[in-house]
Amino acid sequence: MPATSITSAPRFFSSKANFSQIKKWLLPAAFLLSFSLFAAPAAGQVTIFTPYEEGSFQSIPYAVTFTTAQTGLSASNFSVTGTVTGAYVSSVTGSGTSWSVTVTIPNSFQSAGALSLEMVNSTGVSPGVTGLPYTGNYAQIVLFPLTGTLSLTSTNANPGYAKTGDNINYTLTSDNYPMPTWSATIAGVYASGEANSTTASGNVTLGSGTAQGAISYSWTYFTPDNTNAYGSGTSSIIFDNIAPTASISAPPANIVAGTGTSSVAYTVTYADANFNSSNLTASGITLNTTGTATGTVSINGGNTSYVVVISNISGNGTLGISVGAGHATDKAGNSDAGAGPSATVSVLPNSSPSISYAGPQVYPTNTAISPLTPTSAVGMTAFGASPIASSGLALDYNGNAYTIFSTGNIGLFPPGNGVPPPVPSGNNAGSTNLAVAAISAATSTLIFGNGANIYAMDYTGGTFQAPVDVVAGQASGNLVAATHPASGPEIAMIVKSLSSQISFLTRTAGVWSSPVVITNANTTTALAINTYQGGLKMAYIGADNNLYYATYSGGAWSAVAAWATPNISMSGAGGFALDTQGNVWYSIGTSLAPAQPALLP
């Protein structure tokens, strides 16, 4: 039997055998590949440094640098070491390998010390930091108080005060630091500079707009580390640019006799909130004169009040004074500007007529007095109200009689029951007295009072005109008297003022003068005026119930004189009048007996 050749068939792995073999190859390779591709980053190292190693700082930045980029860095990863009490990490900023960490020193720390920033852990930091804790370099901190003072002195002779134009010297002092820049405001004036030392000085000039009173100030400076200090306050120096004032009182009398024996006094008063002194003497007084009036000036007093007396007054005219400037100063050195001219006093010659007193002549009311003879009764017409009880009586050239009813309405009694002209409505007399100045047969002026005012109402050509307020706010309207002088003004009038003094005023060409007080003439009861010997004469019952008079000629009143020696008591007198012969007429009697007119020549 022939030999048979056997050929080996090819060998194939089964799927199971193949996977098993592949796994033997792949697993080691995958391990190696995963290790090389996905291994965790390595932790880095840190350095901490600040260039601010010495100085006056309130915050210090530290540069924190890592060898590998980091995330999650926060203040909790750090602490501040050293001897600077209260220092803390105030901020952490940055990314990757470069970060900045700021250390802040509180204002409460005012001393010297050293501090450093230390990284104490890497909690929350990725991938992390090795070599911790790590401490940066130390900074030497010197924080002394940011304090200072501003001292002021005045160039005024009185260093506690200053006025316009004075200088205020100042010195600004820093207690602990040099001052590269500084500024100060003193009384509103600004100054600044660069000192680079602990003191700065200079001066400011005060202007007229400086506020009165204690001088205020403020200041500030910066240190080399750009920290700043500031302050403000009020100095003990007082700014005063208001000069003392001088004033002159009114004289106690408006008229004096030029007999060489009269005198009048003025009070000079100085006033200032910071008054210092005065040195007024008679040489500082100017006597202001008109006409031939003259007198001797003397002075007494001191400090803020002086009495200037003009004595030995003589002549005819007016006298007054002016006070020179520069006699009073305040504590800042301001001086007064003087005062005047003052109100004047009229100086009259001693020309009072001599009137002898023969005693009153008493006439019964039903007895004719030559050349005066009572006429028959006349009818009455009232204006504004029915006739009732009345007071006050005045007559004009035409025989019209005027009176005031208790209602205040003015009533007219025309002679022979004539028809009276209408009086303008609403013009009531608020007093118990009125007067008529009979200028001519066609013109009269009715004068009456109401409160503290005196009114004049013209009656011309049979018609009353609107009243004019002659004396406003100065008179007591219950006593007034008037007449028509023989020459000069149309009307001469006297009236009792609110202080019971008698004032004199005139009307010329329709224009009223201002009232002038007649010296030493005071009344509360009765007064009268009339023409007399080419001038005027007035008479009145004084507060002592005695009779007084004065005459007017040459433009001035004589000194008031008693009617006789001894003087005459007018207690209980009524119906007071004065005729052109200078005689006083008045009624006497009681309610139980008829009143009788009495004549006092």
Question: Of 178, 207, 239, which residue is a domain's last?
Answer: 239
Q: Which residues pair with 172 in a beta bridge?
A: 150, 200
Query: How many other CB atoms are found less than 10 A from the CB of residue 5?
Result: 5
16 inside domain: no
Q: Which amino acid is at 138?
A: Y
Kindly provide the b/e burial profile for residues 123-137, where b requires at least 16 CB atoms within 10 angstroms of the residue's own CB: eebebbbeebebebe
Please state, in angstroms and rounded to a whole number, the distance separating the CA atoms of residues 599 and 358. Answer: 10
> Are 138 and 153 in the same domain?
no
Low-confidence ranges of the chain (pLDDT < 70): 1-41, 349-393, 397-399, 404-409, 411-433, 441, 472-478, 565-567, 572, 574, 588-601
> Are 522 and 577 in the same domain?
yes
Check if the beta carbon of residue 507 is closer than 8 Å to that of residue 456. Answer: yes
> Are 538 and 432 in the same domain?
yes
**Helix, coil or strand: residue 304:** coil
Check if the beta carbon of residue 447 is closer than 8 Å to that of residue 434. Answer: yes
> Are 111 and 217 in the same domain?
no
> Are 497 and 481 in the same domain?
yes
Structure-block tokens of residue 167:
């200088």
**CB under 8 A, 24+ apart: contacts of 153-160:** 153/237, 154/237, 155/203, 156/332, 156/333, 157/333, 158/276, 158/331, 158/332, 158/333, 159/237, 160/236, 160/237, 160/238, 160/331
32 inside domain: no
63 inside domain: yes
CATH code of residue 429: 2.120.10.30
> Are 232 and 250 in the same domain?
no
How far from the centroid of its chain's Cα atoms is residue 378's Cα? 64
What is the per-residue pLDDT for 600?
A: 56
What is the per-residue pLDDT for 383?
A: 39
CATH code of residue 92: 2.60.40
What is the per-residue pLDDT for 87?
A: 94
> Are 534 and 432 in the same domain?
yes
What is the per-residue pLDDT for 168?
A: 96
557 inside domain: yes
Check if the beta carbon of residue 28 is closer than 8 Å to that of residue 66. Answer: no
> Are 252 and 397 in the same domain?
no
Check if the beta carbon of residue 545 is closer than 8 Å to that of residue 569. Answer: yes
pTM: 0.47
Q: Could you list the residue range(s) of the whole structural domain that residue 387 is in? A: 361-600
Q: What is the pLDDT of residues 499-549, one digit of tens each?
A: 778 888 888 878 888 888 888 888 877 888 888 888 888 888 888 888 888
Check if the beta carbon of residue 345 is closer than 8 Å to that of residue 317. Answer: no
> Are 479 and 394 in the same domain?
yes
62 inside domain: yes
Question: Of 189, 207, 239, which residue is a domain's last?
Answer: 239
What is the per-residue pLDDT for 202?
A: 93
> Are 272 and 397 in the same domain?
no
**Helix, coil or strand: residue 54:** strand
Query: How many other CB atoms are found less than 10 A from the CB of residue 58?
Result: 14
1 inside domain: no
The angle formed by the CA atoms of residues 351, 470 and 445, to the nearest 5 degrees, is: 80
52 inside domain: yes
> Are 464 and 366 in the same domain?
yes
41 inside domain: no
What is the per-residue pLDDT for 418?
A: 58
Question: Of 75, 108, 142, which residue is a domain's last?
Answer: 142
Please state, in angstroms and rounded to a whole number, the distance separating the CA atoms of residues 301 and 307. Answer: 6
Please state, in angstroms and rounded to a whole number, the distance separating the CA atoms of residues 161 and 238. Answer: 5
Short-list 316, 303, 301, CA closest to 265: 301
**Helix, coil or strand: residue 32:** helix
What is the per-residue pLDDT for 373?
A: 43
> Are 162 and 94 in the same domain?
no
Hey, what's the torsion of the CAs at 151, 154, 158, 159, to 10 degrees? 10
* Total domains, the chain: 4
Measured between alpha carbons, how far is residue 535 from residues 177, 353, 558 in Å? 93, 11, 11
